[in-house]
Copies of this chain bind each other. A is one copy, B any other.
Amino acid sequence: MTDGQVLVAIENPKPGRDYTVRCSTPELTCNCPVTGQPDFATVTIEYVPAELIVELKSLKLYLWGYRNQGAYHEEITNRILDDLAGLLKPKSMTVTTDWYVRGGIQTTVVAAHP
């Protein structure tokens, strides 16, 4: 998890029903681990909660925590999924990151749990 940024879970208000929550923001940025230059992505988190849902303000701060970290596209996507799925223990969860063009190539990574 990113330094000092604590993801907060709150109680699912309707634990008896399988429903879907989707959160999306174009404000994910980190640094390229090779060149040190900034990368930018839109991240979308979609999940079916079990007992817990994520508190939105803590999610915002958690994602901002990547701002000064270096990581490959594939790595960061899986790390966000690990952190969120580890905390919320959802029935299912998918994390998608859409990265801005680098070298003429647009990259998207989609990781799902379980």
Copies of this chain assembled into the complex:
10
Query: When the two chains form their complex, are residues B27 and A60 in contact, meaning their CB atoms are under 8 A apart?
Result: no
Query: When the two chains form their complex, are residues A77 and B27 in contact, meaning their CB atoms are under 8 A apart?
Result: no
Question: How extensive is the interface on chain A, given as a class?
Answer: 35 or more
Judged by DSSP, the binding face of A is: strand
Tell me which residues from 57 to 101 in chain A have a Cβ below 8 Å from any Cβ of chain B.
57, 59-60, 64, 67, 72-75, 77-78, 100-101
Q: Which residues of A contact B (CB under 8 A)?
A: 12-14, 17-27, 29, 37-38, 40, 49, 53, 56-57, 59-60, 64, 67, 72-75, 77-78, 100-113
29 contacts between A and B (CB under 8 A): A13-B74, A14-B74, A17-B113, A19-B77, A19-B112, A20-B108, A20-B110, A20-B111, A21-B74, A21-B107, A21-B108, A22-B109, A23-B106, A23-B107, A26-B40, A26-B100, A26-B104, A27-B100, A29-B29, A29-B38, A29-B40, A38-B64, A40-B104, A49-B74, A56-B102, A56-B107, A57-B103, A60-B104, A101-B101
